[in-house]
Amino acid sequence: VAGKSGGVRKFVFVEIGAGYGHWTFTAHRALLQKVPQAEYKYVMVDVLGDLRGEIMNLARLNGVTSAPGPESPMHFHCGYVGAQGKSFEKNQQSDYFRLWGLQGHKNSTPSA
């Protein structure tokens, strides 16, 4: 995206409650239509860590590269809004799984 000075501005998109990243990848395709060589970073957060594999697959299908480390253009974090300690996180995750009829998996825990 061109800045006022004519230089290229970096684009960052943050999606809280990302699910499968619908809005992130929609924003990515729209950005590339306008500025094909744009620099971008995407940060996605969801309570379900199990989504990581599917999100990485969708990223690849949409031409978004992901690599370990802070320089990667895409980051997925499993986390909780308003978490106040491990017991709160455990209760929140338990409620989430119960209310949505999901089974908890070991990789569905919040990132450190």
DSSP 24-51: HHHHHHHHHHH-TT--EEEEEEES-GGG
Give the pLDDT confidence score for residue 4 in this predicted structure.
Answer: 58
Task: Report yes or no on whether pTM surpasses 0.95.
Answer: no
Of 44, 51, 48, the residue nearest 16 (C-alpha) = 44
How confident is the model over 56-66, as pLDDT tens digits?
999 999 989 88
User: How wide is the angle at C-alpha 101 spanned by C-alphas 99 and 104, nearest 5°?
Assistant: 100
Give the pLDDT confidence score for residue 49 in this predicted structure.
Answer: 80
* Residues with pLDDT less than 50, the chain: 1, 106-112
How confident is the model over 67-79, as pLDDT tens digits?
888 888 998 888 7
